[in-house]
Structure 1
Amino acid sequence: MRTIKLNAIDSTNSFLRQLSAEETVEDFTVVTAEHQTGGRGQMGTKWESQSAKNLMFSVFKDTRVLDVECHFYLSMAVSLAVFEALKSFQITSLKIKWPNDILSDQQKVCGILIENVIKQNQLQSSIIGIGINVNQTIFNDLPNATSMQLISGTHFNRDQVLQEVLNQLKHYISFLDSKSYDLLKQAYENNLFRKDKPSTFKDKQGNLFSGYIKGVSNSGHLKVLIEDGIVKLYELKEVQLLF
């Protein structure tokens, strides 16, 4: 496994994507950075992190084995890998918030951004970006953020955390190779935040409504049970879970 360690970069995802466009990149190549100046999250949000406190890294994955309509199973695999890695360090009250934020006691400890390279309607590769709050203890203007250290009171070796995530990533991605999609989906839904609990949502028009998360579709849409027993499917940009 090739590992590229950078001191500062705008985004490890952008760096790895550019690298893969210029040369043949070995599967599971990892790019880490002590500091990101332009870290990105879902829907164009920024990922803020103190230098040398946390883990910010990207992994190159050859995803030609995965049909393009099954791309969300990679997101499930990555979410579960981080979930299990954090669990191994005794991080408690973990849940996966759709699509792939990792929460501890309803506060965000990890964000994931996966960018797929698709050619002629076929998946070629994916850049898996992962940001884990490890030893940062102050989050200005981020009331819903937490870290492994805040949760546990322990200062962690970031290299050990990285290695455990990579080990779990290889384990869960092997489910894609064997096409064990049902096992991935079952594990993902078993740990889904607010599943089967009354929740409040906001649609893209700003309207609030109530419903129950029932799971996800094979393509990654959120299944929400609303009034009159109707289960509606939502894309990421269509709905926001407010709690």
Structure 2
Amino acid sequence: DAHGERCAAALAADGVELSAVVVHRGATTGVALICVDASGENQILAIPGANALVAPPAPCGAAVWLCQGEIPTDAIDGVLSAARADGALSICNPSPVNAIDPSLVGRFDLAVVNELEHEALRGHLPGRVVLTRGARGAVLLPSGEELPALPAHAVDTTGAGDALAGVLAGGLASGMAIEDALRLAIAAAGISVEREGCQPSYPTRAEIERRLSSPPPGPGAPRSSD
């Protein structure tokens, strides 16, 4: 449909490999109605469409498998099986938290959760967790290491968690230490919230590295007059 074609075109323009994309004739692409308030926070109503038809994947030699909660339970279980077959790191971003079987989350190697998800899944999380805290950055658990966020002027937080999870997975797949990958991911999420929309808000690697090398001033900091 038109939504799917538009998404695929945008991904292709960014150099994303699309050979594994499956088109379900007669199904609609999943969509979401997103309401954003004056502070940039959002409420989301999702219509799954073809997301509800995702089948369990096959192993493909991936270094990292990243999964979230808007696909069927058997597909999530299939991600775990494929990750084991590939000898890969498995990451779960259990969002929306009420759509995923909690018993599956603890079988992943790493979970990326916000504070509400962390509380809802207490007792079901794996040994390693990235706890995201919005403008306060993130915490690595169980070590408790805190990684701060850079200053950002939020206009739309939609998709920031997805930006963080995706960049984290990409960094880990490239061999980065989790602390370094998470710093990249936090910076990516910070850029994302400064832009409207979801997919269009995601920065390039060059933009992320520029943000890390030249962070914006925090609230109340002096600004250059030129």
TM-score, with normalisation over the residues of structure 1?
A: 0.28
Which has a greater percent of strand? 1
Task: Specify which structure has the higher proportion of helix.
Answer: 2
Normalising by structure 2, we get a TM-score of: 0.30
